[in-house]
């Protein structure tokens, strides 16, 4: 869980490494305190390859 524009990127990266180092998988992301004033919405899709442990995001839609 992260708060928009407050949670440091380093903290999120540390959490991700801690989870993956013990064989865990991150299933989703929860972001708090996102303003209602934003018009529209955006989403991304991602993938995970277990063969070479690479992670990447697809283009914005």
pLDDT digits (tens, 9 = 90+) for 8-55: 888 888 988 999 999 999 888 777 777 766 555 555 555 544 444 445
Count other C-beta atoms under 10 Å from residue 2's C-beta: 16
Q: Which residue has the higher pLDDT, 32 or 61?
A: 32
End-to-end CA, the chain: 23
- Please report the pLDDT score of residue 21 as a whole number: 94
Q: CB-based contacts of 55: which residues, under 8 Å, 6+ apart? A: 46, 47, 48, 49
Give the per-residue pLDDT at 30: 77
């Amino acid at each position: 869980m992260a708060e928009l524009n407050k949670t440091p990127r380093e903290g999120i990266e540390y959490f991700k490494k801690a989870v993956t180092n013990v064989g865990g998988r991150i299933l989703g992301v929860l972001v708090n305190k996102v303003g209602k004033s934003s018009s529209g919405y955006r989403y991304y899709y991602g993938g995970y390859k277990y063969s070479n442990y690479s992670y990447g995001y697809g283009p914005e839609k």
